[in-house]
């Protein structure tokens, strides 16, 4: 959510930003907010004037009572009562106006960074840099679930019977590899100075509305029936929500947190042939990062975060690239975002395995996360999030890039301590 002062002072900038995000249907919201804000401020001014008048009258009543002029005092009391009734009515109108302003402000997109490429959808995203040399082996690389089945490592049929499509059982070496990657990613980030957290896996609606747009919420979140609780789609939601309604001493910033959680997503609207297998699923586990910092530090942290993900994947010899998300591919709260994509030898192309975003003060403004500056002034913090690693997509990249011609899978040296010292996984089936 942007600062309403920006709409008052520079509505054309806000409208241009909406156009750059190809959301022209939202353009009328800017003028609506301006008019509602005008009425709201007028109501506030009138309420303040009436309160001052009522205070003055109350003093006059007191003076008249002291002078024994009871009848005159009673006459003025009636006027004071009428003023009180008008104040109550105006306060009701103002509350309605504020809610109407809030509804519109919640869907006006955040101002994107000047460096974001302008484009309507993800086909206009721009490659930034490649890390590692993509390799296509001479042998055919099977589909990822076929690789897993060779190790007796996945059971999709049982998962469908138990929970339906979009779920899976991992077992044996594949399940151990899944946990090993998460544990390695956890320690990788701890070694880089991040504080490890395990957050709540459910959050209240107030937090949901604070961390994401309504469109994202509808497409992603599972609601717990009969309770004001939602299953998280990523631990970023819990980690940013941790600071709701807090005033943070400036000297404590930045907060750099890495968190583990299961994640639950509807994946509403997911389609395409790569949605089979375990590429898009309703439940997975992830190691995430969240940063709460001063505004002037957020872009530096943005660059550190995506670089950490690149470093993690390269430490396991997986080629990756970074992709700058264009304006139309940015969620409404995001200022700037990039995807980290891993090389798929089977598909002979890159696919997304993580994303990094800075949201400016949008989430902090919604959640009222403020910083107490050393000069005594309070301001909104900036928030960022970044995927460290998210199996099972990570497993797809790992298995394809480490598969050998004989069906075995090499374990990079950094993962071996988490795999009981194993250097190679041998298939159980041919």
Residues 142 and 238 placed together within one structural domain of the fold = yes
Please state which of the ranges 52-66, 174-188, 190-204, 296-310 shows the lowest mean pLDDT: 52-66
Task: Tell me what percent of the residues of the chain surpass a pLDDT of 70.
Answer: 98
Q: Which helix (H) or strand (E) holds 307?
A: helix 298-314
Residues 290 and 387 placed together within one structural domain of the fold = yes
| Residue 270 predicted with pLDDT over 60 | no
| Residue 269 predicted with pLDDT over 70 | no
| b/e 227-260 (16+ beta carbons within 10 angstroms → b) | eebbbbbbbbbbbbbbbbeeebeeeebbbbbbbb
User: What is the rounded distance in angstroms from the CA atom of residue 95 to the CA atom of residue 35?
Assistant: 15
Residues 86 and 165 placed together within one structural domain of the fold = no
Supply the angle between the helices 27-66 and 70-105 in degrees, to the nearest 10: 160
Residues 37 and 176 placed together within one structural domain of the fold = no
| Residue 336 predicted with pLDDT over 80 | yes
Residue 117: inside a domain, yes or no? Answer: no
pLDDT digits (tens, 9 = 90+) for 20-43: 999 999 999 999 999 999 999 999
Residues 100 and 130 placed together within one structural domain of the fold = no
- Give the range of the structural domain holding residue 262, as residue numbers without chain letter: 122-425
Confidence at 275, pLDDT banded by 50, 70, 90: low
> What pLDDT, on the 0 to 100 scale, is given for residue 273?
39
Residues 373 and 281 placed together within one structural domain of the fold = yes
Residue 153 has phi, psi (to 5 degrees) of -105, 0
> What pLDDT, on the 0 to 100 scale, is given for residue 38?
96
Give the number of domains in the chain.
2
Of 57, 72, 105, which residue sits at a domain end?
105
User: Do residues 119 and 19 lie in contact, with contact meaning Cβ atoms separated by under 8 Å?
Assistant: no
User: What is the rounded distance in angstroms from the CA atom of residue 108 to the CA atom of residue 101?
Assistant: 11
pLDDT digits (tens, 9 = 90+) for 96-146: 999 999 999 999 999 999 999 999 999 999 999 999 999 999 999 999 999
Nearest to 337 by CA among 291, 302, 308: 302
User: What is the rounded distance in angstroms from the CA atom of residue 419 to the CA atom of residue 340?
Assistant: 25
Cα–chain center distance at 323 = 18
Kindly state the tokens that stand for 334: 């995001």
Residues 133 and 231 placed together within one structural domain of the fold = yes
The CATH number assigned to the domain holding 55 equals 1.10.287.40
| b/e 26-49 (16+ beta carbons within 10 angstroms → b) | beebbeebeebbeebeebeeebee
What distances in angstroms separate CA 41 from CA 35, 45, 429, one per listed residue?
A: 10, 6, 73
> What pLDDT, on the 0 to 100 scale, is given for residue 55?
85
Residue 141: inside a domain, yes or no? Answer: yes
Kindly state the tokens that stand for 3: 């600062």
Nearest to 261 by CA among 290, 295, 297, 286: 286
Query: What letter does residue 221 receive in the DSSP assignment?
Result: P
User: What is the rounded distance in angstroms from the CA atom of residue 226 to the CA atom of residue 421?
Assistant: 48
The CATH number assigned to the domain holding 368 equals 3.30.930.10
> What pLDDT, on the 0 to 100 scale, is given for residue 216?
76
Strand order in the sheet with 378-380: 247-249, 370-372, 378-380
Residues 129 and 95 placed together within one structural domain of the fold = no
Residue 111: inside a domain, yes or no? Answer: no
What distances in angstroms separate CA 17 from CA 91, 181, 295, one per listed residue?
A: 33, 40, 20
Residues 144 and 58 placed together within one structural domain of the fold = no
Q: Which helix (H) or strand (E) holds 185?
A: helix 172-191
Confidence at 279, pLDDT banded by 50, 70, 90: confident
What distances in angstroms separate CA 160 from CA 2, 165, 166, 167, 219, one per listed residue?
A: 43, 5, 8, 7, 22
pLDDT digits (tens, 9 = 90+) for 165-213: 889 999 999 999 999 999 999 999 999 999 999 999 999 999 999 998 7
- The mean per-residue pLDDT over the stretch 253-268 comes to 92
3-class secondary-structure state, position 39: helix
Residues 97 and 165 placed together within one structural domain of the fold = no
Higher confidence at residue 140 or residue 79? 140
Residues 6+ positions from 237 with CB-CB distance below 8 Å:
203, 207, 208, 211, 212
Report DSSP letters for 45-114, one per residue. HHHHHHHHHHHHHHHHHHHHHHTT-HHHHHHHHHHHHHHHHHHHHHHHHHHHHHHHHHHHHTTSPPPPPT
> What pLDDT, on the 0 to 100 scale, is given for residue 276?
63
- The mean per-residue pLDDT over the stretch 147-155 comes to 95
């Amino acid at each position: 959510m942007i600062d309403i002062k920006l709409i008052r002072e520079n509505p054309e900038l806000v409208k241009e930003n909406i156009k750059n995000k190809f959301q022209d249907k939202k353009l009328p919201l800017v003028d609506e907010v301006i008019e509602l804000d005008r009425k709201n401020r007028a109501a506030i001014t009138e309420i303040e004037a009436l309160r001052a008048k009522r205070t003055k009258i109350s003093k006059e009543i007191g003076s008249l009572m002291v002078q024994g002029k009871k009848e005159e005092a009673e006459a003025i009391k009636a006027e004071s009562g009428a003023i009180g009734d008008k104040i109550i009515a105006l306060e009701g109108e103002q509350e309605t106006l504020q809610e109407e302003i809030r509804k519109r402000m919640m869907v006006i997109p955040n101002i994107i960074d000047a460096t974001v490429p302008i484009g309507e959808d993800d086909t206009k995203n721009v490659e930034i840099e490649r890390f590692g040399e993509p390799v296509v082996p001479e042998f055919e690389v099977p589909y990822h679930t076929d690789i897993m089945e060779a190790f007796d490592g996945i059971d999709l049929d049982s998962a469908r019977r138990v929970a339906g499509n979009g779920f899976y059982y991992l077992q044996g070496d594949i399940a151990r590899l899944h946990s090993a990657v998460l544990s390695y990613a956890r320690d990788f980030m701890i070694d880089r100075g991040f504080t490890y957290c395990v957050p709540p896996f459910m959050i209240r609606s107030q937090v949901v509305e604070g961390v994401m747009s309504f469109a994202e919420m509808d497409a992603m979140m599972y609601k717990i029936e009969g309770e004001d609780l939602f299953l998280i789609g990523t631990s970023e939601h819990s980690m940013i929500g941790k600071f709701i309604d807090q005033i943070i001493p400036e000297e404590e910033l930045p907060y750099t947190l890495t968190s583990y959680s299961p994640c639950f997503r509807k994946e509403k609207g997911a389609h395409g042939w790569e949605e089979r297998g375990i590429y898009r699923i309703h439940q997975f586990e992830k190691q995430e990062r969240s940063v709460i910092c001063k505004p002037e530090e957020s872009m530096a942290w943005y660059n550190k975060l995506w670089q950490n993900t690149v470093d993690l994947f390269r430490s396991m010899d997986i080629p990756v690239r970074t992709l700058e998300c264009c304006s139309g591919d940015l969620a409404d709260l995001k200022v700037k975002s990039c995807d980290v994509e891993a090389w798929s030898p089977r598909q002979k192309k890159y696919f997304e395995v993580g994303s990094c975003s800075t949201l400016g003060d949008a989430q902090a403004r919604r959640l009222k996360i403020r910083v107490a500056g050393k000069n005594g002034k309070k301001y909104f913090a900036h928030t960022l999030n970044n995927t460290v690693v998210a199996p099972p997509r990570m497993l797809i990249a790992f298995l394809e890039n480490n598969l050998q011609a004989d069906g075995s899978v090499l374990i990079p040296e950094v993962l071996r301590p988490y795999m009981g010292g194993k250097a190679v996984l041998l298939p159980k089936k041919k």
